[in-house]
Amino acid sequence: AQSVTQLDSQVPVFEEAPVELRCNYSSSVSVYLFWYVQYPNQGLQLLLKYLSGSTLVKGINGFEAEFNKSQTSFHLRKPSVHISDTAEYFCAVSNFGNEKLTFGTGTRLTIIP
């Protein structure tokens, strides 16, 4: 069985500062990795995904993530955050050939003006 750990439940960051949201996964087989964002009272929206190829993945809204197989991590980064980035961010994993997603518990990103 696979699992996802998001160590930080809340991350406060000053506007225009960089941010990193951490995600570690556990799986006995090869995986696909995802980051979703959830704005207040809305559903989840896909930010980016890693299926294969380059380990550095670029997504929407200036976010990127790097897949590190040896450390079983898929951390999300943004060089300069904006007030509009305030949201809950979820890391998720699925196994090869299976579209079932297992989500982490989420990280609430708060941008401080």
For other proteins, the binding residues (CB under 8 A) are 4, 32, 34, 36, 41-46, 49, 51, 90, 92, 94, 99-106
Instruction: Give the whole-angstrom CA distance, residue 40 versus residue 58.
Output: 24
Structure tokens at 4: 């996802």
Classify the phi-psi angles of 65: left when phi > 0, otherwise alpha if psi is within -120 to 50, otherwise beta: beta
Question: Minimal distance in Å, beta carbon 18 to other proteins?
Answer: 25
Nearest CB to other proteins, comparing residues 19 and 94: 94
Nearest CB to other proteins, comparing residues 97 and 113: 97
Amino acid symbol at 85? D
Question: Minimal distance in Å, beta carbon 85 to other proteins?
Answer: 19
Question: Minimal distance in Å, beta carbon 73 to other proteins?
Answer: 17
Side-chain-side CA neighbours of residue 19 (13 Å): 27
